A and B are shown apart, each in its own frame.
Chain A
Amino acid sequence: MNPFSSGTRLREMIRAIRACKTAAEERAVVRKECAAIRAAINENDQDYRHRNLAKLMFIHMLGYPTHFGQMECLKLIASTGFPEKRIGYLGLMLLLDERQEVLMLVTNSLKQDLNHSNQYIVGLALCALGNISSAEMARDLAPDVERLLQFRDPNIRKKAALCSIRIIKKVPDLAENFMNPASSLLKEKHHGVLITGVQLCTDLCKVSSEALEYFRENCIEGLVKTLRDIANSPYSPEYDIAGITDPFLHIRLLKLLRILGQGDADASDCMTDILAQVASRTESNKNAGNAILYECVETIMSIEDNGGLRVLAINILGRFLSNRDNNIRYVGLNMLMKAIMVDAKAVQRHRATILECVKDSDASIQKRALELVYLLVNESNVKPLTKELIEYLEVSDQEFKGDITAKICSLVEKFSPAKIWYIDQMLKVLSEAGNFVKDEVWHALIIVISNASDLHGYTVRALYRVFQASTEQESLVRVAVWCVGEYGDMLVNNVGMLDIEEPITVTESDAVDAMEVAIKCQRLGLTTKAMALIALFKLSSRFPSCSERIKDIIVQNKRSLVLELQQRSIEFSCILQKHQNIRSALVERMPILDEKTFSGRKAGSLPTAVSTSSIIPCNLPNGIGKPAAAPIGDLLDLSSDDAPPAPVSSGGDFLQDLLGVDLSPASAPSGTSQSPKTGTDVLLDLLSIGTSPSVQSSSSAIDILSSSHDNKAPVSNLNGLASHSSLSANATSPASSAGMMDLLDGTGAITQKHEENGPAYPSLVAYESSTLRMTFNFSRQPGNPQTTFIQATFTNLSPNVYNDFLFQAAVPKFLQLHLDPASSNTLPASGNGSITQCLKVTNTQHGKKSLVMRIRIAYKTNDKDVLEEGQINNFPRDL
C-alpha cells in the first residue's frame, strides 16, 4: 500500500470539505472524520495511520482541535519505515509545540534518530529538534548536535547549524561549545552550510558577548573574502536569482558584518572596501539587487564612521526615495529612520519628499513618513511642519487621526516657540480631532493657558468663538468651559485685546448661555457637564447680575440622577443661598499652575511614542515609581501608554483633580512657586478653603505630592465649615493625598466626641494675640493613643463684637484632622462669652512626631474683615 498516495480517503475528505456550503456543514464533516480517526486510533490501526495523520493535519490547519492525534505522531515516529517517520515528524512539528509534555517522550526517539545511519533520517530528526525543542530536550541532545556539525554530509551540517541556533537560544550557557565549530563552518564552500553557519554566528554574537569578541578577532577577514568571492563569482545556475548569485547569502553576510562592525573601529575598517564594492556594483533594477543594497546601506549606517561610505549610502537612499515602486519607497523611508541618527542634515534635505509621503494613499508608507516627520522636527522647522501636519489631519482617515493627533500634540509641546502659537495650534488640533486627544493633552493646554497671563483674554475669546461654532469635539468643549469660567470677565469686557484680534461682543448672558448649552447638551459626557457646573458657579461670582439665573440653572440639576452632578449642584446652590460671604473667596482666579511639576509628573506617566528620540529626562519631584521609559518596541501602539490606575499615578493627572472632576482622592496641585495672581489667598482645592501659608511660609511649595520635600511642610487644607471632611494625608504613600472636600455644611449629624477618660493633658493656650485668645483642651480615648480630641475655646479680648467668626486649621501630612461645627458665629466682646469648637486629630506618626498645626481665624468687626494666622508648635509631646 503506497502510503503517500494517501488513498482516496484524504482526497475524498478534502473534496467533501470543499463542497460544504456553510460553516455548520463543514463542522459536521470534520466531526465525522475526527470520530473515524479516533476510532482508528483506538483500534491501533497500522496501515492507515499515516493517512489519518495527514487528515488530522488538514483539519488542524482549518482550526479544529486535534490533540488526540499527538500520540499517533509518536507512534509513527517510532516506526521504522521512512515514509512513516516522515509524516510522523511532520505531524509532530505541526500539531505539537514545545510546551506539551508529550514532547518529552519523543526525546528518546530523537536521540536514536540522530545517530541513525540513514542521513535523511538524521536530517528529519534535526529538523524536528530545530523547530520545537524545549530547553530540557536541547540540553540532552546538544552533544549529538555538536557532533553532527562536523558530519561529512553538508545537508546534515546545515541542519545541525540551525538546530544549534535553537539550542543556544533555549540554553544560552551552551553557547561556548558551539563557538569553535561555528567558526569552522564559515569556511565552507557549500552555500547551504554557509548561510546557516552565518546565521549561527549571528545568533551566537547576540547571545554571548565573548562569542562576539571571538568572531571579531578571527573571522572578519574570512567573511570579507567570502563576500568578495560571492559578489565576483560567475554565473551559477543553482543559486542565481535575477542575475545575482545567492542574494540571500549576500544579505546574511552583510548582517553578520554589521553586528561585528558595530562599535568597533578596526573591524569596520576591514569591511569598508567590500562594502563600497557591493554598494556601487550591485544592479538595482531588480528586487534582489535592491534587497542587497538595502542591507548594505543599513550596515554602512551602523558601523563606525567613514565619510566616503556614508555619502554612497545617502545617494542610494535618495534613489530609493524617488523610485516609483511603493515597496522601494517604503524601504527607503525605513533607511532614513536609521540614517537620521547618523546624519541629520542629509535627512533634512529630503524633508519635502517625506512630507509628500505622509499624504500618500498607502497606509504603510503614511505611517513610516509620519514617524520620520516626528523625528525631523526641531526648533527651526517646527512651524511649517506642524502646519502641514494639521492640514493633513483634516483629510486623514479615522484610524490615523489618533496617531497624528498624539504626534502633533507632543511636537507642539516640545518645540513651541511662543505660547500664543502653542495655544493656536492646540485649538486647531482640538477642533479637528479633539475626541482623539488624550486627557493629559488638554490638561497641559490648560496649564499653559493659565501660565500665559497676558494671553488670557485672547485665549478665552478664541475659545468662545470656536465653542459657538461647534460642540462636537468634547475636549475642546471642556477647555472652553474651563476658560470661560475662569476668565469670563475678560471675555465680556474685552480685556487684553491683542492687535490681531477682531473685536467681539459677548454679554454676560451670552456667556451663561454657552455654559447652559454645555450642561444641557446630551452628547457631552459627565466630565464636561461637571466642569460646566463649576464654571457657572465661578461666573455667578464674576457676573453678579446673572447670579439669579445661574442659580436657577444650577438648581435644575439638584435632582439629577448622576451623583456627581447632583452633589455639585446641591453644594453650589447651598453656597449661593447661605454662604454668600465666602463665595468670592472660593472662586477667585486659579493660581498659576506649576508647569514643571506637572510636566515632570506627566513625563513619568506618558511615554513618548518614538523609540529613537530621547525620552524627556526629568526628575519626578514626587518620586513616583513608574519608570519614564517608553515601551520602545511599540511604535505603533500609542494606546498602551495609559498611566496605571493606581492612585499614585493619578498624581500624573493632578489637573483633573484640580478641576474636581474625579471622585477619587483628589490631589491638589501646588500653585505657589509663583506669586498668586491676585495676591490674596491661594486656593488649593477648588471646593474648599485652604490655609495658605504660601504667602508667608518659607518653603513655598505646598506640594502635597512631593514627598521628596520636607515632610513637615504644612500641607493640606480643611474646610472649617465641613463637618464630614476627611483629610487622608498619607505619609506612606508618597503621591496621593487629600480627600474629597465636602461642602455640606453642618447638616449632617456629627455627634460630639465625648471626652473619655484617658490620660489628662494640661490645657494649652494655643494662640494669643491682642484681640483673641484660643485655648485647647485635650482628651483621649484610652484604647486609641493616636487620636486626640481637642476642644478649642475662643475668647474675645477686644471691646468689639466679632461676627461671622470662622476658624480653620491645617496640619501636615502625617496628621488627620476633623473639625466639628462651632458653637456659634458670634463672639461677644471682652470675654463675655466664648465659642467652642471640637477637633479630632489622628497622628499616624504617633510617638515619632508630635502635633503641629497652622491656624487661620477670620471674623468681622466694626464692618471690617480681619484675618489672623498663626502656627501652634507647643503641643504636648506625646500626643
Chain B
Amino acid sequence: MGIRFILMVNKQGQTRLAQYYEWLTLEERRALEGEIVRKCLARNEQQCSFVEHRNYKIVYRRYASLFFLVGVDNDENELAILEFIHLLVETMDRHFGNVCELDIMFHLEKAHFMLEEMVMNGCIVETSKANILTPVQLLEKTS
C-alpha cells in the first residue's frame, strides 16, 4: 500500500540501498531493479519524473550521482512523493553533513535506520527531521 519500495541507485546502475515493502524474491528484485533503472537512466532532464511500469508508478529524482527511486501505487499523490524524496535527502544531509554516495555505502545501516524512522509498512510515519534523527543520534552517542 502506498509505497512499495525505495531504491537508491548510482549512475552505473549499481544499487546502493534497497528497501522493499512487499515481498519479492531475489531474482525478481534484480530483474525489477534492472528494468526500472534502465528506464530512468535513459530519460533526460526535461522529461517528467514519473514513469509508469507495470501496475505501479516510479517517482524518481537525481541528486548528483545518485538516483532515488520510489515505487508507489497508482493512486498515490506523485508530487507528495517527490517532496518525500527531498525530505529524505535533507534528513540524511543533516545527519551525515553533505551526504554523498560513499557515505551511504559505508554507513548503510545508519541510512536504513533513518529510512525506517520515516517510512513504515509503505506509509510515511514521520516528517520532522528532528524527530527522525533523535533515535539515530542517540544510538551514535551510546556507541
Interface residues of A (CB under 8 A from B): 2-6, 10-11, 14, 18, 54, 57-58, 61-65, 82-83, 86-87, 90, 93-94, 97-99, 120, 123, 127, 130-131, 155, 158-159, 162-163, 165-166, 169, 191-192, 195-196, 199, 203, 238-239, 241, 246-249, 251-252, 255, 287-288, 290-291, 294-295, 298, 325-327, 329-331, 334, 361-365, 367, 633-634, 636-637
Contact = CB atoms under 8 A, between A and B. Distances in A.
A631 to B, nearest CB: 10
Contacts of B98: none
B108 A86 contact: no
Given A90-B109, A158-B125, A241-B127, 16 more contacts: A4-B140, A57-B108, A57-B112, A58-B108, A61-B15, A63-B15, A65-B26, A83-B142, A97-B23, A98-B23, A155-B135, A195-B127, A196-B123, A239-B128, A291-B77, A363-B51
Q: Output the residue of A158, A327, A361 with the most chain B CB within 10 A.
A: A327
Contacts of A87: 109
B121 interface: yes
Interface of B: 1, 15-19, 21, 23, 26, 29-30, 43, 46-52, 54-55, 74, 77-80, 82-84, 86-87, 105-106, 108-109, 112-113, 116, 120-121, 123-131, 135, 138-140, 142-143
Contacts of A99: 23
Contacts, number: 172
Contacts of B127: 191-192, 195, 239, 241, 246, 248-249
A362 B125 contact: no
A161 B18 CA distance: 24
A330 B50 contact: yes
A248 B47 contact: no
Contacts of A18: 105
Contacts of A58: 108
B51 A364 contact: yes
16 contacts: A4-B140, A63-B29, A90-B112, A94-B112, A123-B135, A131-B121, A159-B120, A162-B121, A162-B125, A163-B121, A196-B123, A247-B80, A252-B124, A287-B83, A633-B74, A637-B55
A120 B128 CA distance: 18
A219 to B, nearest CB: 19
A364 B80 contact: no
Given A123-B135, A251-B77, A362-B47, A195 B124 contact: yes
Given A246-B127, A248-B80, A248-B127, A241 B52 contact: no
Contact of A364 (B47, B54, B79, B140): B47
Contacts of B105: 14, 18
Interface of A is mostly: helix
A166 B17 contact: no
B49 to A, nearest CB: 5
B17 A329 contact: no
Given A326-B47, A636-B54, A61 B108 contact: yes
A62 B33 CA distance: 11
Given A4-B143, A94-B112, A196-B125, A364 B77 contact: no
A4 B139 contact: yes
Q: Output the residue of B19, B52, B74, B138 with the most chain A CB within 10 A.
A: B52
A62 B79 contact: no
Given A247-B80, A248-B124, A291-B83, A57 B54 contact: no
Contacts of B87: 241
A249 B132 CA distance: 16
Contact of B109 (A54, A63, A196, A238): A54
Given A130-B120, A290-B79, A362 B46 contact: yes
